[in-house]
Amino acid sequence: MVKKVSNEQEKIKKEKKQDIIFAVGKRKESRARVRLYETLKELPFGEEVLKKGDILVNGKKIGQYFSDKISQAYYSEPLKLTNTQDKYIITIKTEGGGKRGQLGAVVHGISRALASLGQDNRTTLKKAGFLTRDARVRERRKVGMGGKARRKKQSPKR
């Protein structure tokens, strides 16, 4: 059975998709999927209502998820550089890695989303180094190395 969708419903869906800016940020083994809601003034999320300037990470406010002061200064930096602190509602889903890797992925994702909004944002964020993906990852363990990536086995002839 096929449901019929009216033209008005299709237009609303297309408008909603255009109002969302989507970007992916990466750092080490972590990934962050970032959504910026441009035109919405409020976004119902469970029992809460998100307003412009709110950032949600994995269902929690970003201040609860990344609670220390250094993290708070780091994730708000791209928004301060582009003067967009209270212009968007941002929702983020992170997975993989640890907290620091996820924080780097969140900042990278927010920066990519803001860069897609305009060329002036892109140049500002590029100069600050927020659009460069930090490609350092854990080195894999090699065979015959005694359990670590660079460790050599001890010589028995002494």
Q: Cβ neighbours of residue 67 under 8 Å, at least 6 residues apart?
A: none
For the question of whether the overall pTM of this predicted structure is more than 0.75, the answer is: yes
Q: Would you identify the CATH topology of the domain 18-128?
A: Ribosomal Protein S5; domain 2 (3.30.230)
What's residue 53's pLDDT? Answer: 86
Residue 117 has pLDDT above 80, yes or no: yes
The strand pairing partners of 37, in sequence order, are 20, 89
Q: What is the pLDDT of residues 25-42, one digit of tens each?
A: 999 999 999 999 987 777
Rounded-to-integer distance, Cα 50 and Cα 146, Å: 52
What's residue 77's pLDDT? Answer: 92
What's residue 4's pLDDT? Answer: 58
Every domain of the chain and the residues it spans = 18-128
What's residue 78's pLDDT? Answer: 92
Dihedral pair phi/psi, residue 87, rounded to 5°? -100, -20
Which structure tokens are listed for 136?
A: 């350092």
Q: What is the pLDDT of residues 55-98, one digit of tens each?
A: 999 988 999 999 999 998 999 999 999 998 888 899 999 999 99
